[in-house]
Amino acid sequence: MAENFSRAGNSADTTPCSACAVRDHAICASLDCHERKEFIRLGRQVTIPKGQMLMWEGEEAALVANVVEGAMMLTTSTSDGREQIVGVVYPSDFIGRPFGKESPHNVTALTESRLCLFSRSAFDKFARSHSDLEHRLLRRTLDELDRARKWMLLLGRKSASEKIATFLLDISRRLARKDDQDGPAPLDRFILPLGRQQIADILGLTIETVSRQLSEMKGTGVIALPDRRTVEILDRPRLEALAEQA
Amino acid sequence: MAENFSRAGNSADTTPCSACAVRDHAICASLDCHERKEFIRLGRQVTIPKGQMLMWEGEEAALVANVVEGAMMLTTSTSDGREQIVGVVYPSDFIGRPFGKESPHNVTALTESRLCLFSRSAFDKFARSHSDLEHRLLRRTLDELDRARKWMLLLGRKSASEKIATFLLDISRRLARKDDQDGPAPLDRFILPLGRQQIADILGLTIETVSRQLSEMKGTGVIALPDRRTVEILDRPRLEALAEQA
DNA sequence: CGATGTCTTGAGTCCCGTCAATGCACGTGG
DNA sequence: CCACGTGCATTGACGGGACTCAAGACATCG
């Protein structure tokens, strides 16, 4: 299934990890030099083109991966086609469903992405015998759970304008460490890895409502929209007020 | 803080676990006899009265626990008081935030509940040195994450009637193993551990909409409502159709 | 330069939230 | 025992916020 992805790893390079940008942030950080060599032999580096799906909801969960570069989304949908994005992952994040039979959601590349890809069965076995790796995966999963639950408050209880404001603040924080090597300060200007429809699918809105709310905020001078993919936050305090920050 | 909870453990009983109903389902199942004795010494059994809050959002995450009996809810709220229930836990489920500084949500007893309570720091230390326990906690957390993400689809994309139908089916499945020792078959008649407002807070609706939808379903003969806390599913296939099961 | 996909804007509708009154069960005390 | 208060739940009337449907604008690319 994944055989047609281009192999990015150069076979002359014995340790692709040494040049890895996310080595110290991903779950691999728990491994020492020797373990890492063993681990890397189980997987391979692949590049996924924008828009390509890597895992399917309900299919066998055959793969897991670390995101090295790019952005991907996790989605589910109802039988009649309504979609909901249930997560967006960035470099150093982990994807796939360890210790599970089937994938609980679709995984699709939002931008061209580089991954460190493993078969789930090999990963599971390795993880079970390296408890530091499991520990790190546990912490990551607990963080993801917190994030998902916080998002449930947004989906269930916030208005369209609050949703948009919260989304912009959230993404400005999450993009901070990646696009520029800017430190942890949130960005005031960034390029969305998502189109309008995808923003709608994250927030539980329609594309028209997203568009209208963004135009509204542009009109009141809270943000600027230099082009359709770029957002500039002009008045962060006002945006935070709109988001009803908890 | 938790000093005023009644101690349920009888000091003459050296192994409260031997009589524990959830011993083989909770994370403790990963421990052998010796480990379990060591583990139990770190914690204590407590009983929480209905309505009592055990953890507060944003407060220091000082406690973790296994639920032995009863039901509890996890909630968050906006600064202006809108509430969202982000999880409901039943016997054998785990609560609290290991390896974290602060609790990400409130935890409140829906019914009188018995817990196996631990200080987080002691639990963290014990878990770090017992990787089977951590493994089991990891699996549980991954399951919870799947569940939370599935709920995001409901919150973001489903209509009021679909929400109610999905909720009823979900709770009939989750109550099955506990109320009666009935096996895994979902119940067709059960007592809600939640009031109307709490159902609304789970589904991202208002109490009035919940009430109207339930009355509607009662009117069409899909369910019966013998009293305000009891639900009887009369026509499960039709209820499943209403839920737009994925 | 069309062709196509994406986004914006407008007009109209409807679902669900809001406000308000009523109903029902339960407990307390006169 | 009934009167009364309290806390939930139900039901109705109404309005508004977000969805739906439908053009039109804009960008990108062959």
- Which three-class secondary structure string do you get for B56-92? CCCCECCEEEEEEECCEEEEEECCCCCEEEEEEECCC
Inform me whether the pLDDT recorded for B10 exceeds 50: no
Query: Within chain A, how many helices (H) and strands (E) appear?
Result: 7, 12
Q: Tens of pLDDT along B38-71? A: 999 999 999 999 999 999 999 999 999 999 999 9
Distances (CA, A) of A199 to A51, A56, A83, A105: 15, 21, 11, 18
Name the pLDDT band for A179 (thresholds 50, 70, 90). low
Report the residue count for chain B: 246
Name the pLDDT band for B14 (thresholds 50, 70, 90). low
User: What is the SS3 assignment for chain B?
Assistant: CCCCCEECCCCCCCCHHHHCCCCCCCHHHHCCHHHHHHHHCCEEEEEECCCCEEECCCCECCEEEEEEECCEEEEEECCCCCEEEEEEECCCCEEECCCCCECCCEEEECCCEEEEEEEHHHHHHHHHCCHHHHHHHHHHHHHHHHHHHHHHHHHHHCCHHHHHHHHHHHHHHHCCCCCCCCCCCCCCEEECCCCHHHHHHHHCCCHHHHHHHHHHHHHCCCEECCCCCEEEECCHHHHHHHHCCC
User: What is the SS3 assignment for A109-166?
Assistant: ECCCEEEEEEEHHHHHHHHHCCHHHHHHHHHHHHHHHHHHHHHHHHHHHCCHHHHHHH
B contacts of A198 (beta carbons < 8 Å): none
- What is the reported pLDDT for A183? 59
Determine contact, residues A89/A74, Cβ cutoff 8 Å. Answer: yes
Inform me whether the pLDDT recorded for A12 exceeds 50: no
Give the CA-trace dihedral at A51, A57, A60, A61, to 10 degrees: 70
Segment holding A53, helix H or strand E:
strand A53-55
- What is the reported pLDDT for A59? 97
- What is the reported pLDDT for A178? 58
Inform me whether the pLDDT recorded for A53 exceeds 80: yes
Q: What is the mean pLDDT of residues B110-139?
A: 97
Name the pLDDT band for A193 (thresholds 50, 70, 90). very high
Q: What is the mean pLDDT of residues B27-42?
A: 93
Separation between Cα atoms, residue B154 and residue B159, nearest integer Å: 8
- What is the reported pLDDT for A40? 93
Q: What is the mean pLDDT of residues B29-33?
A: 93
Whether residues A157 and B82 touch (CB distance < 8 A) is answered with yes
Minimal CA separation from A204 to chain B, in Å: 4
Separation between Cα atoms, residue A74 and residue B110, nearest integer Å: 32
Q: What is the mean pLDDT of residues B73-82?
A: 96
Size of interface A-B (CB pairs under 8 A): 133
Q: Write down the pTM of the prediction.
A: 0.92
Residue B69: which residues within 8 A CB-CB, separation 6 or more? Answer: B21, B91, B113, B114
3-class secondary structure, A104? coil
Structure tokens at A87: 């997560």
- What is the reported pLDDT for B9? 41
Name the pLDDT band for B213 (thresholds 50, 70, 90). very high
Query: What rounded mean pLDDT belongs to chain A?
Result: 91
The separation, in Å, between residue A70 CA and nucleotide C18 C1' comes to 44
Interface residue of B145, B146, B151, B244 to substitute, partner A, most A CBs within 10 Å: B145
Query: What rounded mean pLDDT belongs to chain B?
Result: 91
- What is the reported pLDDT for B17? 85
Determine contact, residues B172/B233, Cβ cutoff 8 Å. Answer: yes
Inform me whether the pLDDT recorded for A173 exceeds 90: yes
Residue B81: which residues within 8 A CB-CB, separation 6 or more? Answer: none
Nucleotide closest to residue B206 (CA–C1'): C17
- What is the reported pLDDT for B137? 98
Q: Tens of pLDDT along A16-35? A: 788 889 999 999 999 999 99
Identify the structural domains of chain B with CATH numbers, from first to last. Answer: 6-137 (2.60.120.10), 158-243 (1.10.10.10)
B contacts of A76 (beta carbons < 8 Å): 149-150, 152-153, 246
Name the pLDDT band for A204 (thresholds 50, 70, 90). very high
A228 inside 8 A of chain B by CB: no
- What is the reported pLDDT for A19? 87
Q: What is the mean pLDDT of residues B221-246?
A: 93
Q: Tens of pLDDT along A84-139? A: 999 999 999 999 999 999 999 999 999 999 999 999 999 999 999 999 999 999 99
B contacts of A140 (beta carbons < 8 Å): none
Nucleotide closest to residue A209 (CA–C1'): D18
Name the pLDDT band for B184 (thresholds 50, 70, 90). low
- What is the reported pLDDT for A246? 47
Percentage of residues of chain A with pLDDT beyond 70: 90
Residue among A80, A7, A13, A134 at smallest CA distance from B135: A134
